[in-house]
Amino acid sequence: MSSIFSRILDWLTPAPPLAPGTQAGLRRIGELVNGALPMASDFTRMLAKPVEHARAYCAGLVDALPPAIVIDRQGFASDPLIHALFASADDIGRMVASSAAVREYLAETQSWREDTFFALMAARRVEKKVLGVALQDNLIATGVPQSLLQFSNQMLILPAVDAGAARDALFAAAFDSLLRTFAEHIEQVQATYESLRTERELERARLLSRPIHERAAIPPRRISELDERLHGLFASLQPAALIPELADFLMRPETALHLDTVRLWVRRNGVIHAEGPPTGQNDAEADAEAINFMELHSRDRRRHLVLPVRVRCDEAREALEQARAQRQIRENILLI
């Protein structure tokens, strides 16, 4: 009997107020997913805990990233990771100048109050298979299979005035990435639904184009199959199905976003020392150094190196000015 009264009290007791972060996460769902996910009466009740879980997961991802490092010419000469990330020191300035986010940040007043700014660097890792020269059994051998470590698509995103603001921006971007992944999933289902509906209409038109005496002899099997699939897709796009699906997705955020730690031993010329740490038995291996970085894996299997960095504002403005001057020179040449 007491259990019945306990349940009644549970029903009558108002739910505790949501934490501000959970409220913010629910609002963000409304902003990013609401176009494909209509609000329902139990929206908050079903999604509050999944949102809290996903936000905690995203906070853990941000906390797992290493401290920001300064990227500049000095770093290219002294830091094995920065040296591996760029083909030359000049490429650092070109990356900075190509970032629209950095250009917008440097145009803001707050950028003039600090000497440096924080940002997130992203890049794609590429291991290029080549034939090179190596020392084998104290003899120089040619045509030896080797792997060169290279990076492409280097970019700077999410510039921020300090480490705290950078962390907040990274956290928000991680949570938004989860929501956009789910929104894209809904859009794909909607596109499939519209495609099948068009196919059904075409199939029906083909059937009606036949003489009446032939229609009865043709079983509308394909139309029935399409109707069944359309019914299933339509049901999956209703709030009663989408909200639990989103809740399940947010309870398993690692399926769409996770970090891996990568450790490689790389020589100064970019060759990966496949056997691990150098033994020191020959001079050819002596310059192999360990580099450590984090790679972010998203749901579509793409992976990007992600690295918090600091950039000097004056060097960034110099890079932008050099890029503008080079563009002007190219434009003048075209006019000649």
Cα 277 to chain centroid distance, Å, stands at: 31
Residue 171 is predicted with a pLDDT of 96
- Contacts of 139 by beta carbon, 8 Å cutoff, 6+ apart: none
The residue type found at 169 is A
Residue 136 is predicted with a pLDDT of 63
- Residue 259 phi, psi (nearest 5): -110, 140
Residue 41 is predicted with a pLDDT of 55
Q: Are 155 and 300 in contact (CB under 8 A)?
A: no
The CA distance from 194 to 180, in Å, is 21
Tokens read off for 94: 């070109």
What digits encode the pLDDT tens for the residues 51-109?
A: 999 999 999 999 999 999 999 999 999 999 999 999 999 999 999 999 999 999 999 88
- Residue 155 phi, psi (nearest 5): -150, 155
- pTM value surpassing 0.75: yes
Residue ranges of the chain whose pLDDT lies below 70: 1-16, 34-41, 132-143, 213-219, 274-286, 300, 335-336
Please give, one letter per residue, the 3-state secondary structure of the chain.
Answer: CHHHHHHHHHHHCCCCCCCHHHHHHHHHHHHHCCCCCCCCCCHHHHHHHHHHHHHHHHHHHHHHCCCCEECCHHHHHHCHHHHHHCCCCHHHHHHHHHCHHHHHHHCCHHHHCCCEEEEEEEEEEEEEEEEEEEEECCEEEEEEEEEEEEEEEEEEEEEECCHHHHHHHHHHHHHHHHHHHHHHHHHHHHHHHHHHHHHHHHHHHHHHCCCHHHHCCCCCHHHHHHHHHHHHHHHHCCHHHHHHHHHHHHHCHHHCEEEEEEEEEECCCCEECCCCCCCCCCHHHCCCEEEEEEEEEECCCCEEEEEEEEEEHHHHHHHHHHHHHHHHHHHHHHHC
- Residue 314 phi, psi (nearest 5): -65, -35
